[in-house]
Structure 1
Amino acid sequence: MMDHSIEINEMTRSMNSTVENRKNSVNRAPWAERLTTRLEEECNTWTLPNPSPNAVPKQNASIFKLRYNQDDEELYKVCAVGIGPYNHHKSQEGLLFSDTEKRDTVMLSTRVYRIDFKTFFSEISPKINEVRACYAEGSFELDDEALSEMLFFDGCFIICAIMALSRGLLFSTWNKRMDREEEPLINACKSLVRKLNQKAREVMADLLMLENQIPFFVMHILWEHCFLDITFDGVLFKDVALACFDDLYPRRSRSRVTSQSSDFLHLLDLFHWSRSPIDRFREIATYSQPGLYISTVTELQASSVIFKKSASDFFLDIIFSERFFRTKGVIFIPEINLYAYSRRIFQNLIAFEQAYGLRGYGFTAYVECMAQLVQTEKDVSLLRSSGILASTPMTDKEVVDFYTTIRDGVHVEEMPPDLYELYEQVKDHVEHRPRFPNKWITISMFSVSILALTFLQALYSIIGYYAPTNGH
């Protein structure tokens, strides 16, 4: 008997061989052979690349070079000191601290504290790509050596300035380090502290500019590891920095404790965190009702909405509440203090929110709301009489211009849902609160109520007089 299975297997092998030969004949083209040979050789000789020692995970940039109109240039231009790669070796005309004076300050502190150069550069070297990732890609041109040197001098200057402006910590610690015989050194220290304090607001405002930042971990390296002849006794740099900014408006919330967070990006981020409500304004969305808005202070007061100074620890907390059976509405606004430096700080806080996007949008929402509430000098006057603007040195017109100008410069179409919720609450109250035709009807109804109560009281007195006592 013929074994058909063997025959079938031989036929299959023959067919496969034919197909393979056809494939080989097709692939035998000269270009295909050359390409195949080259790739095979490359594959055989390829070795795994060594990972870069400076490679870091992809992260969002947090320090940006801003685009602004020529009219707004003064708001973003440093006044006292240039910090970071965006302001490195820029025109020094008019600055309180030029590059030379900045280096002199660092050299002075080095003489007093003995700053460890070697430790700093050893610590920063493996993190230099992490530093670059904090800035918008391609936004500056500095090689690793120049960038590291800039970080050292700028970081040391920031620490000196903050210590000098933070309740005199710098000068007191310097006094402990200096001998009485070193009169020139003592005089230089006194001169630096005096100079910083004379222009304290300008220096602090510059340290809070978005373009004028260096990464916070650079400051941490300097503070923790590089000052050899001083002991900070467990005092953290972030706490000293916040103490330095305590006199700046908006005020810091006392419920914000730095132990709650440790991932600060830079000084502006620290300032923003210390002034922002917890777990609010974190999201942003396009609202489905583009016509939703809040009326002005004057218009709302005519609709039985009054304004009161809020006791909230967060100045961004604008809250609405209904009273007296929904016949009255109250908008609580924390006390407002505006100064000459305020617009620069607000503009940079909002620019940081818009550019970074991971720290919430509290300042954006606040300015949007206030710009709608305050549109005339009468609106401002009513807020003054409510104690909300009691200590602000700006005129009524300047306050209106303050919020309007910042709002016009932002051009934001999306806002946090928290803001729209406030708008909805106020709108619902204005549209659905109980209304009376006019005040005379209200007075008449009140008078009738009083008469009715008086009649009932007299009636109960008569009944009590004639009512029989027990046993009679």
Structure 2
Amino acid sequence: MSNDDIQPVDGDQELVDEISTTTETSNDDQELVDEWVVEIEGRLENPDNSHATRRPSMDSNLEEYPSIIGNWQCWDDFGASFIPEHLKWIFVASMTHYFGLNVRSYIVYMQEKVDLAWSYYRGVDQFRTAENNKRFIEHLLVNCCFLIFSMILLSGEKELKDSWYEIINKDNPKGLSDKDIQNIIDFITREPNQTVSYLLTMNYQIPWFLVEAVYTELSNINKLFAPPIHKIAYLFCDGLPPDYFNIIDGDYTVPEDGFKHLLHIFHWSRTPDEKYVHNLTIQKWFGDFHIPSATELQLSQTVFIKDEDGTIMSYSDRRVMQLTPWELYNYSPKLYESLLRFEDLYFIRCGYLFSSYVTCMASLLQTEADVRVLRANDIIPSTSFDDKNVLRCIQELKT
């Protein structure tokens, strides 16, 4: 499918014209953009063979660099064990066909914003070459499309999903069959909790400003769906534990300086009403934190009560300890690890809400006997995690 077949949405052409008049673009640069557009459109017309034109990987011997929002070199084999290679470009092909995403507009936009996108990562300055910029921009294109499709399909909003199905049932992008489109839906919805938690892990995060741009400026998708993209993200995260800490109820607020990425939205939606604590004097005191174990407290006649109102832990003079339930499913450890990493990187702005909860539970759960005590009081609900695995999980998170 050629971009000539796609009419730019309102604002796309103005964006291109504005950039063209405010930057000096040489003929050579324009030819490179033209070649790049043709290359990407070739992938869109035959997504199954997109791996044949994939750019070579970066040096595979590079060590993992810590970053603001995850492992930056995850673009090389993005979710290889989770997302089949050929499906990556199907999402882009579908976005261009159904929702008017203009490849040229995207490239022009990202050439202006690539430094901003890189700034969301740490330890990558030496790798910001022209070739890696191209790979980075393509990586963000693929993953933005996948993320937006997933959020719509798993938002839990019937009207939103019905509108999406109505659009994609009209016809198919060039090179894609009904089976290909159904594969997209099946892939995302087969195990929704696993998909949601995967997209919330630290290694997946991408700059939220780009997700917003693809949803609004660079496509017409926001003209077809009423909710703003951050509200869809709220709905997407709804129902996934940890679902305590005063979940918002119809109040789809946004922090003053905006969201950084999807994990940021997930964390924001699970904080108390006062939201993030802006306190530069806050100290990371959790390493020295200690309370007796659950069995020790039980011997001292402490009674444990499940608290679902957002209290991490409260302890009264009557020896009653109220605790938020510790929910563990197959996808929970990776998600909880991501929340801890998020708070570690952003603690000045968001506090240690989840970190303090993990520290509290790690002190209470020192042995399998401690797990049994809290399980008997329904503070650790029954899941596929046995006592040994519950203990191992909390202690690994603590470290």
Per the normalisation by structure 2, the TM-score is 0.71
Deviation at 1:387, TM superposition (A): 2.4
Partner of 2:16: none
Q: Distance in 1 between matches of 2:105 and 2:327?
A: 43
**Residue by residue, what CA displacement relative to the aligned partner does 1:355-387 show, whole Å, maximum 9, x if unpaired?**
333322122211111011111222222222222
Partner of 2:33: none
Q: Between the two proteins, what is the percent identity of the paired residues?
A: 24
Partner of 1:413: none
Q: Distance in 2 between matches of 1:104 and 1:329?
A: 58
Larger mean Cα displacement after TM superposition, 366-375 or 85-94: 85-94
- Give the SS at the match of 1:261: coil
- Structure 1: any 5+ residue segments left out of the alignment? 1-51, 54-63, 68-82, 323-327, 409-472
- Say whether 1:274 aligns with 2:269: yes
Q: Distance in 2 between matches of 1:272 and 1:307?
A: 27
- Say whether 1:254 aligns with 2:247: yes
| Aligned CA distance change for structure 1 residues 97 and 291 (closer, same or farther; 3 Å) | closer
| Aligned CA distance change for structure 1 residues 376 and 281 (closer, same or farther; 3 Å) | farther
C-alpha contact (below 8 Å) 1:281/1:362 kept by paired residues: no
Partner of 1:220: 212
RMSD: 3.3
Q: Distance in 1 between matches of 2:177 and 2:226?
A: 27
**Residue by residue, what CA displacement relative to the aligned partner does 1:28-68 show, whole Å, maximum 9, x if unpaired?**
xxxxxxxxxxxxxxxxxxxxxxxx98xxxxxxxxxx9566x
Partner of 1:440: none
Partner of 2:40: none
Letter in 2 for 1:350: L
Q: Distance in 2 between matches of 1:398 and 1:220?
A: 39
C-alpha contact (below 8 Å) 1:220/1:237 kept by paired residues: yes
Partner of 1:299: 296
Partner of 1:198: 190
For residue 116 of structure 1, the aligned residue among 95, 102, 114 is 102
Partner of 2:121: 135
Letter in 1 for 2:223: T
- Give the SS at the match of 1:332: strand
Letter in 2 for 1:258: Y
- Say whether 1:155 aligns with 2:153: no
Partner of 1:463: none
Q: State the number of aligned residues.
A: 323
Larger radius of gyration: 1
For residue 89 of structure 1, the aligned residue among 59, 67, 76 is 76
For residue 101 of structure 1, the aligned residue among 87, 99, 104 is 87
| Aligned CA distance change for structure 1 residues 380 and 277 (closer, same or farther; 3 Å) | same
| Aligned CA distance change for structure 1 residues 96 and 286 (closer, same or farther; 3 Å) | closer
**Residue by residue, what CA displacement relative to the aligned partner does 1:70-104 show, whole Å, maximum 9, x if unpaired?**
xxxxxxxxxxxxx9842122387534332x32012
- Structure 2: any 5+ residue segments left out of the alignment? 1-21, 24-62
C-alpha contact (below 8 Å) 1:120/1:221 kept by paired residues: no
Deviation at 1:170, TM superposition (A): 4.9
Letter in 2 for 1:270: I
Partner of 1:350: 340
| Aligned CA distance change for structure 1 residues 286 and 115 (closer, same or farther; 3 Å) | closer
Deviation at 1:160, TM superposition (A): 1.3
Q: Distance in 1 between matches of 2:99 and 2:397?
A: 43
Q: Distance in 2 between matches of 1:137 and 1:244?
A: 31
| Aligned CA distance change for structure 1 residues 278 and 126 (closer, same or farther; 3 Å) | same
Q: Distance in 1 between matches of 2:301 and 2:71?
A: 51
Deviation at 1:266, TM superposition (A): 0.5
Letter in 2 for 1:87: C
**Residue by residue, what CA displacement relative to the aligned partner does 1:199-250 show, whole Å, maximum 9, x if unpaired?**
4333322212223211111000011123336634540112212222223211
**1:2-401 alignment runs, 5 A limit:** 85-90=72-77, 94-98=81-85, 100-138=86-124, 140-143=127-130, 144-167=133-156, 169-170=160-161, 172-176=163-167, 178-179=169-170, 185-228=177-220, 231-251=223-243, 253-255=246-248, 257-261=251-255, 263-279=258-274, 282=277, 284-285=282-283, 293-312=290-309, 314=310, 317-322=312-317, 328-357=318-347, 358-401=349-392
| Aligned CA distance change for structure 1 residues 350 and 385 (closer, same or farther; 3 Å) | same
| Aligned CA distance change for structure 1 residues 385 and 111 (closer, same or farther; 3 Å) | same
C-alpha contact (below 8 Å) 2:94/2:173 kept by paired residues: no
Q: Distance in 2 between matches of 1:93 and 1:176?
A: 29
**1:407-446 alignment runs, 5 A limit:** 407-408=398-399
Letter in 1 for 2:366: Q
